Structure 1
Amino acid sequence: MQGYYIAEIVSLVFMAAALGMDAFSVCLGIGMQQLRLKRIALIGLTIGIMHVVMPFLGILLGTFLSAQIGQLTTLAGGLLLFGIGAQMVFSAFSEGPSSPMQPVGVGLLLLAFSVSIDSFSVGLSLGLSGVKIMLALMLFGAISMMLAWSGMLLGRKVQGLLGIYSEILGGSILCGFGLHVLFG
């Protein structure tokens, strides 16, 4: 019986890591914007919370939603990531003072939503599988938060090495991930 619980925890950890990898990828690009550590902490915390909220909503609303609505939310998330990345690339080429989009306010919530949208569909299946829901939600939130922090801190280090090109690289990463969400 104890082996069953260990196997369940291990599988939930791997599932949480897989769900958090998109947050890592996106945060790698965001970390190149010379963010303060306080902002990095807030972004990671917001992404972690959204990785708890989205599967919870998926569990609650799973029986009422159709597969078509799930496809529309994936499309919206991919377009949002691509748009944010394109804005970063274009602002790198603009003349005058650069003002890269900062993940604050509604922009932060949209970012967190876009990287956690896939956990919504996982929540749909979690409600039917009989796993320990609270354990799964806490693992999803904690691991995605740590991966987001890791991505931003790594991006921050890479930004120092790349200088002005880091904004182009960061925007390209976001665009690429948006395209992956849309077509992958």
Structure 2
Amino acid sequence: MSFSSEFISLLFLAIALSMDAFSVSLGMGMQRIRLKRIAIIGLVIGIFHIIMPFLGILLGKAISNQIGELTTLAGGVLLFVIGAQMFFSAFNHEVKSRVLPVGAGLILIAFSVSIDSFTVGLGLGISGVKIFLTLFLFGAASCTLTWLGMLLGRKVHGYLGTYSELLGGSILCGFGLYILFG
């Protein structure tokens, strides 16, 4: 396989793996999040999209693909729970106890959207791809698509007002269900 065909294949794979980060960030962007926080969220999700496939590549030579199904299940459940919490918190204006994209909440979100890249890393570890190129493309694509999703979510929030939290939570729940059953 030539470098250009491998690059194009890895780029498309990176974009496909980043679509969950885009979807989740679209929902998160509907919350009132400052641009500085959006930048940090994108970077953290990008870093997780480097760490998780790297761990997968390292373990791919020693671990079977059966673990991939469990990590996908865990990621889907996490996204659904975060989305459901966001959705139902829109009805309760007194207590806002949702997973916020700061601290441990940001780590949980970044982990849940990057867990599928771990399973891909398991397979890539066996195939012998260019590790640095793969990790760079995964991180760059997820960071960029996260920023794009959050900025689009911010714009949509301006049009939807209080209903944006319901829509954002629905998007997260829907994506979690898609991962679980799609």
**Inter-partner Cα distance in structure 2 for 1:129 and 1:68:** 17
In 1: Cα distance, 2:174 partner to 2:125 partner: 32
2:35 and 2:93 map into 1 onto residues whose CA distance is 28
In the alignment, residue 167 of structure 1 is paired with which amino acid?
E
Paired amino acid for 2:169 = G
Structure 1 unaligned residues grouped into runs of 5+:
none
Aligned partners of 1:43 and 1:95: how far apart in 2? Answer: 25
- Are the equivalent residues in 1 in contact too, given 2:75–2:116 (CA < 8 A)? no
CA shift at 1:100, angstroms? 4.6
Q: Which runs of 5+ in 2 are unaligned?
A: none
Q: 1:34 is paired with a residue of what secondary structure?
A: coil
Which position in structure 2 is the counterpart of 1:174? 172
Q: Distance in 2 between matches of 1:133 and 1:164?
A: 44
1:132-184 Cα offsets, whole Å, 9 max, x none, are 11001001000110000000000000000000000000000000000011111
Shift of 1:127: 1.6
| Partner residue, 2:80 | 82
1:141 to 139, 161, 173: 139
Alignment of 1:33-48 (within 5 A): 33-48=31-46
1:91 corresponds in structure 2 to 89
**Structure 1 position 128 matched with structure 2 position 126:** yes
Match of 1:5 in 2: 3
Of the structure 1 ranges 157-166 and 117-126, higher mean CA displacement relative to structure 2 is found in 117-126
Superposed displacement of residue 62, structure 1: 1.6
> 1:98, CA displacement in angstroms?
4.4
Q: Which runs of 4+ in 1 moved over 3 A?
A: 97-101
| TM-score normalised by length of structure 2 | 0.95
Aligned counterpart, 1:67: 65
* SS of equivalent to 2:30: helix
- Equivalent pairs counted in the alignment come to 182
Structure 1 CA distance for aligned equivalents of residues 6 and 61 of structure 2? 24
Change (3 A) 1:20 1:76: same
Find 1:108's aligned residue among 106, 109, 116: 106
What TM-score does the superposition give when structure 1 sets the normalisation length? 0.94
Is the Cα–Cα contact under 8 Å of residues 23 and 149 in structure 2 kept in the other structure?
yes
C-alpha distance in 1, partners of 2:81/2:92? 16
